[in-house]
Amino acid sequence: MASDLELCSKSCLCTCETKGQALSYSEVTMGSAWTQSFREELSMGKVKFSLSQPELLLQPQWRISPLAWLLYRLFMLLYTFIWCLYSALLFSSPKWLLFLSHIVYCSMAMYYLLALCNLVWAAIQVRNFYRNAAANQNEGSRVRGGSVGPFPLPPLLSAALRLQWCLHNLVSSFSVTVTLLYWMLVYPIEKHPLSTFNINMHVGNSVQALLDLILSSTPIHLAHYVHLFLAACLYILFLLLYWLSGGTSLSRKPYIYKVLDFGRWPLVAAFSVIGFICIGLPLGHFLVWNVCLLRRSMAARARGASVGLCRERWWCRVGGASHSTPVSLTGIPASLFTTTGSGMTQPLLPSRNVHHGAVSVYL
């Protein structure tokens, strides 16, 4: 009788498409997973950049070799830096940094630089760990189940990873928001020429941000909007002080954007600021969070229970290990890095239950 009920329930979830009377099992699962993830985000504990799985900020989400990942980081840094340098030479004035799109793009260059340095630094730590373990014939370097680690994580590198995570969140959400607001509000009014530079700054920025969001395994939390809100308020405060001090734009006008002309149209400027902080930026951050959630869902389907194994094999290759041993899922540690210092940390991605705890650290 119980088996009949189970078969009946499964058949109800997997209804034939010809009738179209119910959702498929996968759709139900995705819907419930999204709802549960959204509820888990409604926590003040997510506001802090607390590390317990630092490897999430260092390695890719997908099957990308360490060398290819390093070359990707290097290429994106050079590409972004060249465009920032070209922008500075094109405008030949420090006022080019008055525009939010330029500030965000320079922040993106800083993020790529920090991400590359952190990756190289962590790789050196892992290689030194393997070298010392081989020299000392230290079999205790292997944890239960035959897995490797944990690797040392210096406090300075831990702080640099937190800064990288913060920049990643700021750059991702602000890039998407800047692109949407520019083409919806700024471009129809000011009619800037559709040059390669303009397209790269207001389309390529979002493409770069979303590409990095999809390829990397860096988590996005809705609670991190607090940091976006503070950054937006600082920029608006700067614009107000700059206007009150008599500052002008590159074209010697008393405003940076026409919609933010505080002297001539104060109400329009006020509503534009409120709309940017309370509508535009939250929607951009919500879109970025959903892309991150979709990435995790796709990785879970593509790799399933082998995620933990791939994580350890990836770092074995970083360390130059000549062999890799089979690892059971029950032997996978919460993190392959061990941090020093006091203080409680929280997982970057919450574990929904004990069975999925070892897998969720990478999804």
Q: What is the DSSP string of 127-179?
A: HHHHHHHHHHT-GGGB-GGG-B-PEEE-HHHHHHHHHHHHHHHHHHHHHHHHH
Return d(Cα 156, Cα 160) in angstroms, integer.
Answer: 6
Calculate the average pLDDT of the chain: 79
pLDDT over 90 (residue 84): yes
Q: What's this model's pTM, rounded to 2 decimal places? A: 0.80
The pLDDT confidence band at residue 149, using thresholds 50, 70 and 90, is low
CB 69 within 8 A of CB 120: no
pLDDT digits (tens, 9 = 90+) for 179-212: 999 998 888 887 788 889 999 999 999 999 999 9
- For the ranges 43-57, 240-254, 300-314, the lowest mean pLDDT is seen at 300-314
CA 32 to chain CA centroid, nearest Å: 23
pLDDT for the residue 330: 40
Q: Which of 69-73, 127-131, 132-136, 270-274 has the highest mean pLDDT?
A: 69-73
51 to 46, 121, 256, 349: CA distances (angstroms): 11, 17, 39, 10
Phi first, then psi: give them for residue 60, nearest 5 degrees: -80, 165
Find tokens 């329009």 and name the residue: 268
- Give the β-pairing of 337-339 and 151-153: parallel
pLDDT for the residue 208: 97
Three-state helix/strand/coil letters over 201-270: HHHHHHHHHHHHHHHECCCCCHHHHHHHHHHHHHHHHHHHHHHHCCCCCCCCCCCCCHHHCCCCCHHHHH
243 to 167, 182, 211, 246, 256: CA distances (angstroms): 27, 21, 36, 5, 9
